[in-house]
Every structure is written in C-alpha cells, then in structure tokens.
Amino acid sequence: MSTTASSFKQAEHKLLSVPGPVEVTDEVLFANAHPSMSHVSPAFAPVFGDCLRYLRKVLYTEKGQPFIIAGSGTLGWDLVAANLLEAGQKALVLNTGYFGDAFADCLETYGAKVDQLGAPVGGRPSLEEVEAALKKDKYAVLTFTHVDTSTGVLSDAKGIAETVRRVSPDTLIVLDGVCAVASEEIRMDDWEIDVVVSASQKGISVPPGVSITALSQKALKVLDSRKTPIPAYFANYKRWLPIMESYEKGTPAYFATPSVNLIYALEASLKSIVDGPVSLEDRFKMHKEAAKKFREEFMRQAGKLGFKTVATSPEGAANGMTAVYVPEGVAPPALVGALAERGIVIAGGLHKDIKTKYIRFGHMGVSVVERPSDADKILAALKDALQAVKSA
C-alpha cells in the first residue's frame, strides 16, 4: 500500500533550531517525495508556474520577475555580480556580518570595485552614514543583508531603500534575503527594492537546494542594456528569463535541469504560506512576537548568568533568529553539545571576530507558524543544559 499525504509522518528527529536549514512540515516532505518527473512534462510546468506566482505574493510584487534555479543562496550573489554589474563598476556593500564580507568577495570575483560600510559587531550602519557614502561616490549597486545570519542583525530595509532612492536614484538596491524571505516583511514594489536574493531552506521552510531571486523591471532594464557580455554561463539571467516566462505560461522549457522534486516541495510550502490559514501579514507579526517572547524568556533564564544578544538594539535584531554571547566559563561547544543531547540542534559562532564566543538559534518558519511550541522545547532544554554545563 502506498503512503498518502495524510498518512505520511517524517521520522522522529532532533529539533532543528539552527538559523537554516529549518524544520519542514510532513506535507512539504511528502511533496518532495513525488515520483520522479520529467522537467519538461506538461504536468510539471504548472507546478513551477505556481511557485513563481506565489513568490510574487510573498515579496509583495506585481511586476517583479522571480527566478527559481537549482542551487543555494550563494548562487544569487553570483547572479547579481555577473548580470547586474560590469567589470570596473562600483558596488557599496552594507556590512552587518559574515555574509556582507562574503557577498563583497563574490562581487569582486567578477571584477566589481567594492566599498564596504560596516558597523561594530552587532550594529548596523546608520541611514545617515549610508546617505553620506552615496553622496561621496556613484554606485551601480548597493547591497545589504536583511538579516545577517552570523550576527542576527536586522537591517532597516525600508529605510535603506528610501535613502538610496532619494540620494542616488539610479543605484540598484539589492537585498540579501536568504535569512529573511518569509520571516521578515519585504515589500519589493512599495519599497522599490530591485533585487531580492534568497533560498529555499530558511523562512520558506523547504529543504536546501533552490536559489530564489527576484528582479524589478528596473533591474531587468539594466540587464538588457549591458555593454559587455555576461561573464557566466549557468548564472546568466538572460538564459533563465525565457525559461521562467515559459514555465509561468504553463509551457515547459529547458536550459538546465531544475530541482524537480524540490519544486514540488516549494509549491507545497509557498501554497501554505500564501493561501494557508495564516495570512502573510499575520505570519510576519507571528515572527515578531515569537522573537520577542523567545528573547525575553531566554534572558529571564540566562540573562543573569551573563548571556547577551549580539544584536545591540531591539529594532536591529532579527525576527527569525537570535545570536547570543555566552558568559565567561561557558564553552559554546559544550552548550551546543548539551542541547543536542537533549534533542535540540543549535548553531555555534560564524562571525570571524567573535566566533568562539557565541551561539545561534533559529526561530522561523514551521517552528513559529505551525509549531510555536518548539520555542518552549528549546527553552526547557536550555534550562536543563545550562545546569549541566555549569555543574560540569
């Protein structure tokens, strides 16, 4: 007898509470277990088309062009670097952690001249600093990380976009939303964001393996008016654009094979995000409330021991994750290990300056919307793990 969607249950496992990949629902995993399909079958094309339509809704855009390509979030950086900049053009990277460094490195790999505007660890550049930098030089592209997964710092996406539009209207605004799409509100049209870079495995709550990006009409015009050839073969939007347009019309087309099964999983997850019982607006509200509650509870338990969030201001702290410094005398690997022994998987440090001093928790997607009790499990295990680590 074959398993059905309603009878399928994923195996018992430790609760995955890292800031991505995140927990996925049984429905999404079951959709991923679709029998193997041809990527050019007429039955598959509308599934792909649905994903594109749902993504527009998630990003609040009507005219933005989503691209769904096999790969991870990093592929989005290559796409930006190879397609929206030409060698020698300037980019301004607003840096709030590891992922700013890495995006800058990727842009330079393709020949862009990069300036970075950073802040002390846990902070973010002010809008005044962004304005001053834009007045000093002319940038083809400005990038910022909406949530830097290494620090849990949240950028003021709307404020940055307003500043760029006012001071340097021709500059393309690129939002790295790998750790933000579907857990933080992103209004691509209203805020005039030109590019959103994302991936399947975080707020969207699908297994890793899909690069998701979206381009505004303005970004598409920049792509169209390039003077030099795109220095990439796979990461080439001109090759992918007709494929996306064709799938959206329900007609299969081929450039390179999509991750067919993950597209089924993506459709299932996006459908529940867009058309499920929780509205998009409520979804973002739930993430805000869950983050606030998680941090309050966490600090109630551990604050007096000397734990401290890495993000230095409440408005600059992400809603889908939290990074916290551990106090002297607590070794992050010991705490990560003690939590794993209690069924909770969290992450250690990533930012080069503080790597050995902090830990990271994810609280996004399924663990907020479908199973808010996950946070209670994490906090209960934490209490126990802290006792164990302190008395060791």
Ligand X SMILES: Cc1ncc(COP(=O)(O)O)c(C=O)c1O
Query: What are the residues binding ligand X (CB under 6 A)?
Result: 20, 72-74, 99, 145, 148-149, 176, 178-179, 199
Nearer to ligand X, 73 or 365 (CB): 73
Helix extents (H) in 120-236? 127-136, 157-167, 217-224
Q: What count of other Cβ atoms lies within 10 Å of the Cβ of residue 131?
A: 15
Measured between alpha carbons, how far is 286 from 191 in angstroms, rounded to an integer?
Answer: 22
Sorted by sequence, the CB contacts under 8 Å of residue 148 that are 6+ apart come out as 96, 97, 98, 99, 100, 155, 179
What DSSP character marks residue 155? P
Q: In the complex, what is the shortest distance from the CB of residue 99 to ligand X, in angstroms, rounded to a whole number?
A: 4
Measured between alpha carbons, how far is 83 from 335 in angstroms, rounded to an integer?
Answer: 43
Measured between alpha carbons, how far is 384 from 354 in angstroms, rounded to an integer?
Answer: 25
Q: In the complex, what is the shortest distance from the CB of residue 5 to ligand X, in angstroms, rounded to a whole number?
A: 27
Measured between alpha carbons, how far is 345 from 365 in angstroms, rounded to an integer?
Answer: 16
Nearer to ligand X, 178 or 369 (CB): 178
Write out the H or E segment, with its range, that includes residue 144: strand 141-145
Which tokens in the block code for residue 255?
A: 């450039």
Q: In the complex, what is the shortest distance from the CB of residue 321 to ligand X, in angstroms, rounded to a whole number?
A: 9
Sorted by sequence, the CB contacts under 8 Å of residue 102 that are 6+ apart come out as 74, 77
Q: In the complex, what is the shortest distance from the CB of residue 20 to ligand X, in angstroms, rounded to a whole number?
A: 6
Q: In the complex, what is the shortest distance from the CB of residue 180 to ligand X, in angstroms, rounded to a whole number?
A: 7
Tokens 């992918």 found at: 240
Reduced to 3 states, what is the DSSP secondary structure of residue 174?
Answer: strand
Instruction: Count the alpha carbons within 13 Å of 67 in the hemisphere toward its beta carbon.
Output: 31
Tokens 């964001």 found at: 193
Nearer to ligand X, 69 or 338 (CB): 69
Q: What angle do CA 33, 39, 42 make, to 5 degrees?
A: 100
Q: In the complex, what is the shortest distance from the CB of residue 306 to ligand X, in angstroms, rounded to a whole number?
A: 27
Nearer to ligand X, 330 or 347 (CB): 347
Asked whether the beta carbons of 15 and 377 are under 8 A apart, the reply is yes
Nearer to ligand X, 318 or 335 (CB): 318
Q: What angle do CA 226, 230, 234 make, to 5 degrees?
A: 145
- Taking CA atoms, 196 is separated from 137, 264, 266, in Å, by 23, 22, 17
Nearer to ligand X, 163 or 213 (CB): 213
Asked whether the beta carbons of 175 and 18 are under 8 A apart, the reply is no
- Does the annotation list 165 as a binding residue? no
Nearer to ligand X, 324 or 347 (CB): 347
Which tokens in the block code for residue 254?
A: 């081929």
Nearer to ligand X, 61 or 149 (CB): 149
Asked whether the beta carbons of 203 and 196 are under 8 A apart, the reply is no
What DSSP character marks residue 72? -
Q: In the complex, what is the shortest distance from the CB of residue 260 to ligand X, in angstroms, rounded to a whole number?
A: 19
Q: In the complex, what is the shortest distance from the CB of residue 97 to ligand X, in angstroms, rounded to a whole number?
A: 8
Nearer to ligand X, 72 or 116 (CB): 72
Measured between alpha carbons, how far is 200 from 179 in angstroms, rounded to an integer?
Answer: 10
Residue nearest ligand X (C-beta atom)? 73
Q: In the complex, what is the shortest distance from the CB of residue 138 to ligand X, in angstroms, rounded to a whole number?
A: 26
Task: List, as residue ranges, the binding site.
Answer: 360
Task: List, as residue ranges, the binding site for substrate.
Answer: 360
